[in-house]
Homo-oligomer: A and B are copies of this chain.
């Protein structure tokens, strides 16, 4: 069966989801269910370490792999601290590194991210760095021990699709570790397209959370991700400039 391996974990679902921007945490279990996701990212800040009823972890089934993220970190050092706090809080050893100091476009800082990747991979974390798609930096992240790389499609929350297609395609072509397209995917067709290009998985948050019906939208992304994966495995036909008839065109009535 077609599975995605990250660290030592095998995943059947190739759709990862985020937990921000929902009107209420109450809806999360249904979105997790409808999307079929097996990996959920959570900003550590949302994790109430005192385990009150408000704790977002209460809304995430134990069978789900938690992917705490270092949202809020502006340097490698801060990311490392958040990662360790997440582990101490019982969030497991997966970590999505987000190092962002640009407040307008929320673009990742690849250089600081590479540094944090190296430190945390050595400590045994399964490290998934969020990154600006850059081949050299992806190679450095791989060398630093990343379990996958998460290139952005467009700025976080922008819903604009894979605006970085050229560079993501190159990462897919050249890298030997999983490529998870993250950020900017605003519609199921964007997720399908990423998968058709050969991405290994996608992460979606805003497009689901801010839709009119997050539960249905979660399912829509699930279907589209599966569709794109199946199409990739089945190989799409070539594009042509001129037409090619599906049906016989000649001589029927003549």
Contacts and interface: CB of A to CB of B under 8 A. Distances in A.
A118 interface: no
B231 A72 contact: no
Contact of A189 (B103, B189, B214, B243): B189
Copies of this chain present in the complex amount to 4
Nearest to A102: B135
Contact of A223 (B101, B216, B230): B230
B159 A238 contact: yes
B248 A236 contact: no
Interface residues of A, number: 98
Given A134-B134, A230-B219, A105 B243 contact: yes
Interface string A99-130: 01111111111110000000000000000000
Nearest to A214: B234
Contacts of A193: 187, 189
Contacts of A81: 253
Residue in A21, A43, A166, A206 whose Cβ sees the most chain B Cβ within 10 Å: A166
B157 A136 contact: no
Contact of A158 (B69, B236, B240): B240
Residue in A46, A82, A224 whose Cβ sees the most chain B Cβ within 10 Å: A224
Given A189-B189, A189-B228, 13 more contacts: A71-B249, A72-B248, A72-B249, A82-B253, A111-B111, A111-B136, A155-B243, A186-B236, A188-B227, A189-B193, A189-B224, A224-B228, A227-B227
